[in-house]
Amino acid sequence: MQTKISYSSLMQERVSCRSFTDEPLSPLHWKALQSFIDAPRELPFGSRTRFTLIDKNPEDHSPEARDTAAGSRGGARLGTYGVIRGARTFIAGMTVSDGDDQALEDYGYAFEQVVLFAESLGLGTCWLGGTFNRGGFAEAAALAHGEIIPCITPVGYPLGKRSLIERVMRTAARSSKRKPWNELFFTKNFNHPIQKDTVGDIEEALRMVQIAPSASNKQPWRIVFDPGSSAFHFYMHTLAGYAGNKLGFKIQRIDMGIAMFHFAQTAVQAGFTGTWSRKDPGVFIPHFPNGQVSYFATWHPDNSGSIGEA
């Protein structure tokens, strides 16, 4: 099911939606989401994630949907501090993590698939890692021992008009902008930005990393391409003092997982399958202002034939 979706067009269409009509999800959409979130998925580091649909008013749904919806009558505790308007259904994602491990990258990798699948159904979503009542959602999702609930997303029909708070948030995070290519992607080491047209068809995968969503739109991903082995080494620019990393888990690790999914999935569509590993190649990391850059993971193509030959 997952490979049939044209993810790169969805990656380009997706934009955070914070204003929804208050219509309940149609039974068809509910069923499609339910089966997608329940499907087993392979994640780069083999962690476990679990998703659940939560509805503020499960009693408004068909008996089948009512059976699967977690929820709290009236939705009193399913708040988003006023950031999300009109949504009545949410997807909560759970994982087992100490807050600073690879389960968070796997989590971002898996949850972005869910977000893009919702996009394929024409539904609006917005990653939320900070602005939601974690306790209320944890209760509705029946958090198991050891699980954490790093993020949720509302899911529903976009209103088509942004609320004032949504416009303010987008302006504050400069959500419509992304960092330029030469600040993100390098060849051999951090001194040489990757020249466009030098990595063949896989350039599209880098472009999809560049447009990925990230917490507060901080875009922590940095990638160094090694022309010798055709490997792409992923690094994270952790911002000093960033509040998003002090929620009991490092939210920027989730951003890295999202970028990894955008990269690997687009590479597959360009004809390159690959494998993730974690072995620091020892590339010299210069001083970066406002934080530090650290090695994260490496993507190796299974067949490196045409990478770097253009």
Ligand X SMILES: Cc1cc2nc3c(=O)[nH]c(=O)nc-3n(C[C@H](O)[C@H](O)[C@H](O)COP(=O)(O)O)c2cc1C
The residues of the shown chain that bind ligand X, judged by CB under 6 A, are: 15-16, 83, 126-131, 151, 169, 173, 175, 213-217, 251, 254-255, 258
Considering all CA atoms of the chain, what is the largest pairwise distance in Å, rounded to the nearest integer? Answer: 59
Residue 264 CB, nearest approach to ligand X (Å): 17
Nearer to ligand X (CB atom), residue 64 or residue 100: 100
Residue 165 CB, nearest approach to ligand X (Å): 9
Nearest to 71 by CA among 50, 93, 53, 95: 53
Nearest-10 Cα torsion for 289, 291, 295, 297: -110
What string of H, E and C letters represents the secondary structure of 47-73? CCEEEEEEECCHHHCCHHHHHHCEECH
Q: Give residue 85's region: left, alpha or beta (phi > 0; psi -120 to 50).
A: beta
Nearer to ligand X (CB atom), residue 156 or residue 308: 156
Nearer to ligand X (CB atom), residue 58 or residue 257: 257
Which two tokens mark 280?
A: 């620091």
Residue 173 CB, nearest approach to ligand X (Å): 4
Nearer to ligand X (CB atom), residue 19 or residue 298: 19
Q: Backbone phi, then psi, for 22, in 5-degree steps?
A: -95, 20
Nearer to ligand X (CB atom), residue 1 or residue 243: 243
How far, in Å, CA of 155 to CA of 37, rounded? 13
Residue 266 CB, nearest approach to ligand X (Å): 16
Residue 281 CB, nearest approach to ligand X (Å): 26
Nearer to ligand X (CB atom), residue 104 or residue 307: 104
How far, in Å, CA of 259 to CA of 105, rounded? 9
Residue 90 CB, nearest approach to ligand X (Å): 13
Residue 300 CB, nearest approach to ligand X (Å): 26
Nearer to ligand X (CB atom), residue 187 or residue 245: 245
How far, in Å, CA of 61 to CA of 57, rounded? 8
Nearer to ligand X (CB atom), residue 83 or residue 116: 83
How far, in Å, CA of 227 to CA of 172, rounded? 38
Residue 218 CB, nearest approach to ligand X (Å): 9
